[in-house]
A = this chain, B = another copy of it.
Amino acid sequence: MPMMTRPVTLKDVANRAGVSTSAVSRAFTDGASVSDKMRRKVEKAASDLGYSPNALASSLTTGRTKLIGLVSNNFHNPIFLQVFDLFTRKLQDKGLRPLLMNLSDEQDALTAVRRLKQYSVDGVIVASSTLPPEFSKAFRDAGVPVVNSFGRFSTTPDVHVVGVDNSECGRMAARELVARGYASVGFMGGPETATSTQDRFRGFSQELAKHPDVARRHSFASDYSFDAGRAEMQRLIADGPLAEAYFCGDDVLSIGALSALADAGLNVPRDIGIIGFNDMEMARWENINLTTIGQPIEQIIHSSVELIVAMLDDPNRYPEVRLFPCKMVERGTLRPAPKP
């Protein structure tokens, strides 16, 4: 039968040590004015009693909760497991605690802001490649330090963004396909509302505009998921002549597409080329072996955490965009470049 013991408070420790509460408080604060003797006495009493300070109570006076809102709506893309893993670890390393907020049902920025303000989070990380910049702006407008990771950047940012230039990634994919000599190429995006899809598509189209001889087409899957990619590719197969190669907006879409192609008896890369995006763990599985464009997830997250920490000290820090290069990861789903 577990006893319901009242938690040990500062006052209990003060009583036991026979000192004032301020002394105890100071003993637990680095750099406070306390003698060694006092500190030892307090620490003794505290450990006797099993005391640990209440972070929430102290936040009342210090104005710091060390709570960071981690907001996302990407709970279906396997890549985000890694994203959560890294964010939680790196935040923990800095002594911060992530307060998770799942936006899958509720996308309203103001509701999200209100909910997180109730818990007086010190800052917020919006980890999403689909939410518009306005979403993150709502936090800034509410006076909450915010970093938008994996989000759309602006050259005149009013909110901190850390990620990649998705339109450059689109260009990179297009360049690669053109270099491989494909005469017709397709873009198979995720949902058209996702900023990452829009940006990758824009870059892809820009690059192709330089090559009027290459035929192009595009379509959008309903979702960043295996099923959506598979369904979309099945539709393309049914609807008529395929492009020679496709840039899929995400690896998970690519893998769905590959499965549809295999079912249709089409060989990749002989009959058709596929290039994905994200370089998720599965992409390098030998039975998938997907050529793709990878983004440096760990660096992006590391940098995001660094930035939010910096903002805790200077909430009005001048807005900044941090971009990292994407990398082509060549595997087995594109045909080799033609010999010149």
A:138-180 near B, CB below 8 Å: 140-141, 143
Interface hit among A11-19, A49-57, A204-212, A295-303: A49-57
Q: How far is the CB of A133 from chain B (nearest CB, A)?
A: 15
Contact with B along A73-105 (1 / 0, CB 8 A): 001111011101100110010000111111011
Check B285 against A117 for contact (C-beta < 8 Å).
no
Check A84 against B78 for contact (C-beta < 8 Å).
no
Given contacts A52-B118, A226-B282, A285-B226, contact A99 B102 (CB under 8 A): no
Check A99 against B101 for contact (C-beta < 8 Å).
no
Check B230 against A286 for contact (C-beta < 8 Å).
yes
| Contact residues in B for A141 (Cβ distance below 8 Å) | 2
Check B52 against A60 for contact (C-beta < 8 Å).
no
| Contact residues in B for A332 (Cβ distance below 8 Å) | none
| Contact residues in B for A136 (Cβ distance below 8 Å) | none
| Contact residues in B for A1 (Cβ distance below 8 Å) | 316
Check B258 against A287 for contact (C-beta < 8 Å).
yes
- Taken together as a complex, chains A and B put the C-alpha atoms of A216 and B227 apart, in Å, by 37
A281 within 8 A of B: yes
| Contact residues in B for A287 (Cβ distance below 8 Å) | 255, 258-259, 262, 287-288
A132 within 8 A of B: no
Q: Given contacts A7-B143, A56-B59, could you give 20 more A-B pairs where the C-beta distance is less than 8 Å?
A: A3-B143, A4-B143, A5-B143, A7-B117, A52-B117, A52-B118, A53-B118, A54-B120, A55-B119, A56-B65, A75-B85, A78-B78, A88-B100, A89-B104, A97-B100, A97-B115, A97-B119, A259-B285, A259-B287, A262-B286
23 contacts between A and B (CB under 8 A): A2-B140, A2-B141, A2-B315, A4-B143, A52-B117, A53-B118, A54-B118, A54-B120, A57-B60, A67-B119, A76-B81, A78-B78, A80-B81, A88-B102, A89-B104, A97-B99, A98-B100, A99-B100, A226-B282, A255-B285, A262-B286, A263-B286, A282-B282
